[in-house]
């Protein structure tokens, strides 16, 4: 009998170590290109938090001077998502910038229809980065797909001199520079970096809540090395994003067997082949979560994931599937924990699945809160005021 | 629908034409970074959401392009690539392939060459292309209409009925819009149109939907002219 020198599983230690990372640190290549005059790097402004990524490298997460690269799907269809991000910034008195000189990344269309090309995609990204740099702020990307796509754009620009030349020429004709941020930062990384401060300001006890987490594919699968990992969360074998925040809020994060699966969004599918999106979302995600973890809520951090997981449950209900699980973003959960208004700030009336039992479990008087929101709407209808202000939302 | 991989499926298309399209894909700058061969281990299939619901296999696509099976690549370019969810779960390939990105490149070739199957895959998608190209935003609040999203239930009626008030009941000043997801500066849109012009993206639209192309050209050329640019997309 041959005895192989295999250590016991219990003795093996998996440790993330940047010295054994299988990839080069792209930031070193960026700074080298800057020295050669190929591009300009936008530095992460201070103050910033340092977090670990998949291979143990340190990533800087800016806390303020952030330029909010909004998401078309969030702002268009689930606007409480972005509103909660802004609300959190305001609560901490942080300097942030909500731009109008911003387009979407246009990557949703690119992944859906291929009616674009790498030059156009890179030029759109750099135009937005340049707009942030011109006003002295650092881009913070709200959408998971924009985040993943921009990391790919940065990767392509570093490794493809011809693409760099083309984009530099386009920027020159627009009167802009070829600028690339030192870090591509997703808003949920900012929420993660702020989790201790958020927990310090928590006013709603969430210790009776069980949640499942759905990490966005384009967050941790595209340029995977740039996602946040922590030894404290799943032993650094899965991304720590979202989970790290929820655990800090006292929430019980429950595991389920299809954690790695996508939400079913599909880019093209959610718009013109929704049978796929509905089926996958309900059968591979929502039903599995309910059967295996019986959560009160599922929390994710991307536009398409919230939309697909939430809206697909309508069809699931019609087919007597196990559905009825509220879907929220981590920004909404953090804001709710800090006492944000569920309708004026979280804007939960834009979500589809019934979230009232979840809020009632948290001790929130849903009827009272909705009545307060309706007062605001009545004032808008009567012309007493044109818009609801931040002051209205914060009172 | 079962994927028909018989050799006769596209026998009306010459081998030379199929080879030309494949060579176009292989000439893409990304190709050498997304294909390194294929072990046929099937890890990509195990992780693939589309493989669970369609007769679709990222392994089959990686195999076809790696062994340069021109006929099979052409069949897949027509009958399979549009089923991909573009989630990139397949990026966990132990050979460092990215079947999802291989598909992205094949889709671009299909669109650039106006393949009929690409046009069919994008049927009904024209309004989205119009929105993204003309406003820079993929979706907008006013797209939440019951006829557009019937399977999202009565909730969409409620949003559509209250859209104006609910948008004004958003605290961020940039979000009081209904036709775009946020308020976008005129100069930003002009810069976006100039990017479309300089990168030849409108040629792709023309190849897929000539009517949509003409509408977009009218909109863009008029706004560019108002902004002082003498630009034509022809």
List pLDDT tens digits, range B32-83: 999 999 999 999 999 999 999 999 999 999 999 999 999 999 999 999 999 9
Q: What architecture is domain A204-371? A: 3-Layer(aba) Sandwich (3.40)
For residue A375, the chain B residue with the least C-alpha distance is B169
pLDDT class of A10 with cuts at 50, 70, 90: confident
Q: Smallest CA–CA separation between A156 and chain B, in Å?
A: 8
Task: Report whether pLDDT(A2) > 70.
Answer: no
Interface of B with A in 77-136 (CB under 8 A): 82, 85-89, 91-92, 104, 107-108, 110-111, 118, 121-125, 128-129, 132, 136
Query: Strands A327-329 and A297-300: what pairing?
Result: parallel
Half-sphere exposure of residue B218: CA atoms within 13 angstroms, side-chain side: 7
pLDDT in tens, B6-39: 878 899 999 999 999 999 999 999 999 999 999 9
Q: Do A70 and B182 touch (CB under 8 A)?
A: yes
The CA distance from B55 to B63, in Å, is 16
- End-to-end CA separation in angstroms for chain B: 39
Q: Do A390 and B141 touch (CB under 8 A)?
A: no
Q: Smallest CA–CA separation between A295 and chain B, in Å?
A: 22
Interface test with A, best of B181, B200, B230 (most A CBs within 10 A): B181
Length of chain B: 234
The CA distance from A38 to A32, in Å, is 9
Interface test with B, best of A67, A68, A76 (most B CBs within 10 A): A76
Is A78 within 8 Å of A215 (Cβ atoms)? Answer: no
**Which pLDDT score, from 0 to 100, does residue A7 have?**
66
**Are A22-187 and A204-371 in the same CATH fold?**
no
The CA distance from A188 to A194, in Å, is 10
List the one residue out of A308, A227, A219, A313 whose CA is nearest residue A266: A308
pLDDT in tens, A141-188: 999 999 999 999 999 999 999 999 999 999 999 999 999 999 999 999
For residue A103, CA distances in Å to A188, A285, A288, B138 come to: 20, 31, 37, 10
Task: Report whether pLDDT(A63) > 70.
Answer: yes
DSSP-based three-state secondary structure for B93: coil
For residue B194, the chain A residue with the least C-alpha distance is A174
**Which pLDDT score, from 0 to 100, does residue A3 have?**
66
**Which pLDDT score, from 0 to 100, does residue B8 have?**
81
Angle, alpha carbons A208-A211-A216 (nearest 5°): 160
| For range B171-199, the mean pLDDT | 97
| CATH fold for domain A22-187 | Glutathione S-transferase Yfyf (Class Pi); Chain A, domain 2 (1.20.1050)
Q: Do A108 and B132 touch (CB under 8 A)?
A: yes
pLDDT class of B123 with cuts at 50, 70, 90: confident
E strand spans, A40-141: 40-42, 48-52, 58-62, 66-69, 96-97, 138-141
DSSP-based three-state secondary structure for A52: strand
What number of C-beta contacts closer than 8 Å exist between A and B? 246
CB-based contact, B24 to chain A, within 8 Å: no
Q: Which residues of B touch A218 (CB under 8 A)?
A: 87-88
pLDDT class of A5 with cuts at 50, 70, 90: low
CATH number of B15-115: 1.10.1060.10
Task: Report whether pLDDT(A4) > 70.
Answer: no
Q: Smallest CA–CA separation between B106 and chain A, in Å?
A: 9
**Which pLDDT score, from 0 to 100, does residue B17 have?**
98
Half-sphere exposure of residue A166: CA atoms within 13 angstroms, side-chain side: 19
Alpha helix stretches (DSSP H) within A67-106: 72-77, 80-91
| For range A232-238, the mean pLDDT | 94
DSSP-based three-state secondary structure for B184: coil
The CA distance from A69 to A72, in Å, is 10
State the pTM of this model.
Answer: 0.96
Interface test with A, best of B31, B96, B132 (most A CBs within 10 A): B132
CB-based contact, B27 to chain A, within 8 Å: no
**Which pLDDT score, from 0 to 100, does residue A27 have?**
96
Helix or strand (DSSP H, E) at A300: strand A297-300
- The structural domains of chain A, with segments of one domain joined by +, span 22-187, 204-371
Interface of B with A in 210-229 (CB under 8 A): none
Q: Which of A114-118, B126-130, B188-192 has the highest mean pLDDT?
A: B188-192
- Token representation of residue B10: 């596209």
Task: Report whether pLDDT(A395) > 80.
Answer: no
pLDDT class of B233 with cuts at 50, 70, 90: confident
Angle, alpha carbons A163-A164-A165 (nearest 5°): 90
| For range B86-109, the mean pLDDT | 96
Q: Do B194 and A173 touch (CB under 8 A)?
A: yes
For residue B135, the chain A residue with the least C-alpha distance is A103
Task: Report whether pLDDT(A64) > 90.
Answer: yes
**DSSP symbols for A212-280:** EEE--HHHHTTTGGGSBB-TTTGGGTSB-TTHHHHHHTT-EEPP-TTTTS--S-TTTHHHH-HHHHHHH
CB-based contact, B232 to chain A, within 8 Å: no
List the one residue out of A147, A131, A134 whose CA is nearest residue A302: A147
Classify residue A281 by its DSSP letter.
I
For residue B157, CA distances in Å to A79, A311, B143, B163 come to: 17, 14, 12, 10
Q: Smallest CA–CA separation between B89 and chain A, in Å?
A: 6
**Which pLDDT score, from 0 to 100, does residue A12 have?**
75
> What residues pair up with A239 in beta bridges, in sequence order?
A229
Q: Do A377 and B165 touch (CB under 8 A)?
A: yes
Helix or strand (DSSP H, E) at A297: strand A297-300
Residue with tokens 């929390």, as numbered in its chain: A299
List the one residue out of B96, B81, B77 whose CA is nearest residue B39: B96
For residue A394, the chain B residue with the least C-alpha distance is B171
Is A89 within 8 Å of A339 (Cβ atoms)? Answer: no
């Amino acid at each position: 009998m041959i005895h192989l020198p295999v250590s016991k599983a219990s003795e093996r230690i998996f440790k993330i170590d940047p010295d054994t990372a299988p990839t080069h640190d792209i930031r070193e290549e960026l700074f080298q290109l800057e020295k050669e005059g190929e591009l300009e790097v936008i530095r992460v402004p201070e103050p910033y938090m340092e977090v670990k990524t998949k291979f143990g490298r340190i990533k800087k997460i800016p806390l303020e001077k952030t330029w909010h690269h909004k998401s078309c799907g969030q702002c268009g269809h689930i606007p409480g998502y972005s509103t909660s991000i802004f609300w959190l910034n305001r609560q901490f008195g942080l300097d942030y910038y909500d731009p109008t000189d911003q387009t979407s990344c246009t990557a949703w269309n690119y992944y859906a229809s291929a009616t674009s090309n790498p030059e156009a995609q890179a030029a759109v990204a750099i135009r937005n980065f340049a707009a942030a740099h011109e006003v002295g702020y650092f881009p913070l990307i709200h959408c998971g797909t924009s985040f993943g796509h921009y990391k790919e754009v940065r990767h392509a620009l570093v490794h493809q001199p011809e693409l760099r030349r083309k984009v530099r020429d386009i920027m020159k004709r627009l009167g802009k520079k070829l600028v690339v941020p030192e870090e591509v930062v997703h808003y949920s990384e900012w929420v993660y970096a702020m989790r201790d401060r958020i927990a310090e300001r928590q006013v709603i006890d969430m210790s009776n809540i069980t949640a499942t987490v759905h990490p966005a594919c384009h967050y941790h699968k595209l340029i995977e090395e740039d996602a946040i990992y922590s030894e404290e969360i799943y032993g650094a074998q899965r991304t720590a994003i979202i989970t790290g925040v929820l655990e800090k809020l006292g929430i019980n994060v429950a595991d389920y067997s299809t954690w790695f699966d996508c939400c079913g969004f599909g880019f093209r599918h959610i718009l013109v082949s929704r049978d796929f999106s509905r089926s996958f979302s309900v059968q591979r995600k929502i039903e599995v979560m309910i059967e295996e973890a019986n959560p009160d809520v599922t929390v994710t951090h991307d536009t398409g994931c919230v939309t697909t997981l939430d809206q697909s449950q309508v069809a699931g209900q019609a087919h007597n599937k196990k559905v009825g699980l509220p879907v929220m973003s981590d920004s909404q959960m953090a804001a709710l924990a800090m006492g944000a208004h569920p309708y004026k700030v979280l804007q939960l009336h834009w979500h589809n699945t019934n979230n009232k039992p979840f809020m009632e479990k948290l001790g929130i008087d849903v009827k009272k809160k909705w009545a307060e929101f309706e007062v605001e709407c009545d004032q808008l209808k009567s012309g007493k005021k044109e818009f609801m202000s931040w002051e209205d939302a914060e009172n | 629908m079962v994927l028909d991989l018989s050799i006769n499926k596209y026998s009306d298309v010459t081998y030379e034409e199929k080879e030309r399209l494949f060579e176009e894909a292989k000439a893409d700058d990304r190709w050498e970074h997304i294909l390194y061969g294929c072990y046929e281990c099937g890890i990509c299939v195990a992780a693939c959401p589309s493989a669970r619901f369609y007769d679709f296999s990222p392994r089959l696509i990686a195999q076809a392009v790696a062994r340069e099976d021109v006929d099979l690549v052409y069949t897949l370019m027509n009958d399979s690539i549009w089923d991909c969810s573009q989630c990139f779960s397949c990026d966990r390939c132990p050979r460092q392939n990215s079947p999802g990105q291989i598909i992205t490149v094949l889709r671009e070739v299909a669109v650039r060459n106006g393949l009929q199957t690409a046009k069919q895959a994008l049927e009904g998608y024209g309004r989205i292309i119009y929105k993204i190209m003309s406003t820079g935003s993929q979706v907008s609040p006013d797209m939440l209409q019951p006829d557009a999203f019937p399977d999202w239930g009565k909730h969409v009626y409620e949003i559509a009925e209250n859209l104006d008030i609910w948008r004004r009941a958003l605290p961020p000043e940039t979000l009081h819009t209904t036709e775009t997801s946020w308020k976008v500066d005129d100069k930003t849109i002009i810069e976006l149109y100039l990017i479309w012009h300089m990168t030849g993206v409108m040629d792709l639209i023309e190849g897929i939907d000539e009517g949509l192309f003409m509408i977009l050209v009218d909109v863009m050329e008029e706004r560019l002219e108002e902004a002082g640019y003498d630009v034509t997309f022809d």
